[in-house]
Structure 1
Amino acid sequence: MVDMSREQRKLDHIRYALELGDGPLTNGLENVHFLHNCLPELAPADIDITTTLSGIKLSVPFLVNAITGGTDNVTEINRKLAQTAAAAGAAIAVGSQYGAVKTQTNYRSFEIVRETYPEGVVFANISALATPAEAQQAVDMLSANALQIHLNPAQELVMPEGDRDFKGLLANMRRILEHVSVPVIVKETGCGMAAEQIRRLLALGFTCFDVGGAGGTNFPAIEAKRFAATGTDLAGWGLATAPSLIEAAAVCGKNDTIVASGGLRDGLASAKALALGADAVGMSGNILRCIMEDGVEVAQQELLEIITDLRLLMLLTGSRDLKALRKTPLYFTGALREFLLCRGHDPIRLSAVRRN
């Protein structure tokens, strides 16, 4: 039987994501700065932006990230999201499939992504509460290349119908990791990740993290909007994208991979995130807005322009590839510099030496 309340929630998420926009926190990247290289010794054709995520090769370091799914009414939106990713050669992740595997409904809204982008890199998405069998079902639904396990405790606490008991999540996530047939990405949904939790996940065998920092689409704010009587204090909760990336890069090893997401809307923010140690950049809110307001062709052009801008910024820093971009000099200002000092990160060392 179809859960109409779940379907309506998915539609509300789209409506309020567009209405509310990003924030109220920033992604923190405004406090990250490049130094101009007036002698780059590069031509655009020299620049290589290929990357690898959990052993999966990507021709561009971009991911149209999880935003919607789980109701037949968004099937066409997901088709257009897949078309946008395909035009740029980007990866794409679907929204949560948890409801679909629980109710055995609404598969079409997800299957359309693989149908539209048969040769693409597609990520499935499931709750950390799912059983291992449900997680594999989500993967099979899409012939997915990898599986995102999403973490959203702040969102759940704002939802009157949300979960309150998060005991046993780590053990369950470990069972999913051991059971599914594809790489697993642990994904926050807008409140960021700190080093302490990433270390715990690394100890369990997880190797890929989408930091999902504050500063982008704000699900606690969206849920508060859905329920006018719900307080909005948690709309300002979370760790922004820039500090989340610094925390992740500080504890991840050379074989681990990081996705930057949370309010990244242009080539400059993407370049900064990649310089801080990300292997790929996830975007969703800006792509969804383009599709809904201007159409898929505009969304495709928007993503292609972001990729072009990334190449130009790499040239202006003298960075031949993403590894070189991580070594280009940076400097930090404002609240981010204060964060670095409070958390024991050396801003001077970090300005020159970051993740290998």
Structure 2
Amino acid sequence: MTAERSSERKDDHVRLADAQQREAPRPNGWDDVTFVHHALAGVDADRVDLGVEVAGKRWALPFYVNAMTGGSASTGVINRDLAIAARETGVAIASGSLSIALDNPELLGTFRVIRDENPDGFVMANVGIERGPDDARRAVDALGADALQVHVNAVQETVMPEGSRSFSSWPASLEAIVAGVDVPVVVKEVGFGLSAATLTRLADMGVRYADVSGVGGTDFVRVENDRRAGRDYAYLAGWGQSAVECLLEAPLHAPTLFASGGVRTPLDVARGLALGARAVGASGSFLSVVIDGGAEALISRIREWSDHLAALHSLVGATTPEALRHTDLIVRGRAADFARARGVDLDSLARRAGGKDAR
């Protein structure tokens, strides 16, 4: 594919993803999780510390700007604004897939701007699982990245007009990447979820981090199907598991987990942390903010999320994100149905605080 055509595809992705974000709000998997309210459990807000450790470094916030875009002039502007917002707020950031720039080096600047504008921040590069270790190292070096996201997207490739259907080589390719780079690898779905079996397999491969990236946010079946002349894969919309479902069934020996997919509010972040995620990523919710108002609007939004998340910690009596894992949760709806079918004990989640109103 030519650089021009590849850039057009990246612009199509942003346009279609943004259009989904502007649709009427609809429930997603995060709505299946409710904190049990204990009226005397709160703590002073100034005791809350939102910092978490990831890959040997401390993140000031337990949420991050997840992979979005890059590869065209307009997406380069978006990446610049995302990077400025990350720099000013201290939030970690992941690039979109650098595969297009690895094939077309003249487009690398649309990604490199993430590091240029954010020289001291935590930056994750991103490549597809089919790429070899040489390409993975090139992507890391291009951004001076602290970690590498390797995205797995078989469902998207299936619907993508120019997508691949050759998936059997992916495990060996991933193992080669993990062995071939000097930074932590985060295996990331693109909105269809990572099952317990997949997380077990990743752990056996030596993968230390995984972003379950479940259904509920930008649906890449819809994005790619809208690019098809016949729009003939519409029936696959909604394929996969939500981040909530993935976190609920994650095995104890799973890699350290990140959660993303349909994260809309600080409450969704708190839900993900309470279900065991080390940090929670948002893409679509931040994309529309940047498109409408640039870096300054996203800076304001991230600071708002930080303030609200600290307030939620205070409300439920958790002084750290780790402490949220000891709060009482009720799981209902589709997530509860999924969990019961998969043998997950939901009753224990509702009694994690040991019956105490104050902790």
Q: TM-score range by the shorter chain?
A: over 0.9
Other structure's SS at 2:64 match: strand
Distance in 2, Cα, partners of 1:47 & 1:204 = 36
Greater Cα offset, 53-62 or 197-206: 53-62
Instruction: Write out per-residue CA displacement over residues 63-109 of structure 1, whole angstroms, 9 at most, x where no aligned residue.
Output: 10101012233211100011122222110000000121123331100
Shift of 1:302: 1.1
- Residue of structure 1 in register with 2:115 after alignment: 114
Greater Cα offset, 109-118 or 330-339: 330-339
8 Å Cα contact 2:216/2:238 also seen in 1: no
Instruction: Write out per-residue CA displacement over residues 91-129 of structure 1, whole angstroms, 9 at most, x where no aligned residue.
Output: 000000012112333110011000100110000000101
- Residue of structure 1 in register with 2:245 after alignment: 243
Other structure's SS at 1:78 match: helix
- Residue of structure 2 in register with 1:182 after alignment: 183
Other structure's SS at 2:148 match: strand
Instruction: Write out per-residue CA displacement over residues 144-197 of structure 1, whole angstroms, 9 at most, x where no aligned residue.
Output: 000000011111111121000101111110110001010000000000111011
8 Å Cα contact 1:111/1:142 also seen in 2: yes
Distance in 2, Cα, partners of 1:51 & 1:267 = 16
Other structure's SS at 1:140 match: helix
TM-score (norm 2): 0.94
8 Å Cα contact 2:36/2:350 also seen in 1: no
- Residue of structure 1 in register with 2:96 after alignment: 95
- Residue of structure 1 in register with 2:356 after alignment: none
- Residue of structure 2 in register with 1:126 after alignment: 127
1:275 is the counterpart of 2:274? yes
Measured on the aligned residues, the alpha-carbon RMSD in Å equals 1.8
Instruction: Write out per-residue CA displacement over residues 296-339 of structure 1, whole angstroms, 9 at most, x where no aligned residue.
Output: 21221111111111111111110011121111111111221111
Distance in 2, Cα, partners of 1:314 & 1:49 = 9
Q: Provide structure 2 residue ranges, at least 5 long, that are not aligned to the other structure.
A: 354-359
- Residue of structure 1 in register with 2:285 after alignment: 286
Q: Provide structure 1 residue ranges, at least 5 long, that are not aligned to the other structure.
A: none
TM-score (norm 1): 0.94
8 Å Cα contact 1:84/1:296 also seen in 2: yes
Distance in 2, Cα, partners of 1:162 & 1:277 = 33
The structure-2 alpha-carbon separation of the partners of 1:304 and 1:35, relative to structure 1 and needing over 3 Å to count, comes to same
Counterpart residue identity of residue 311, structure 1: A
Shift of 1:26: 4.7
| Residues paired across the two proteins, number | 351
The structure-2 alpha-carbon separation of the partners of 1:202 and 1:28, relative to structure 1 and needing over 3 Å to count, comes to same
Distance in 2, Cα, partners of 1:353 & 1:295 = 42
Alignment of 1:256-267 (within 5 A): 256-267=255-266
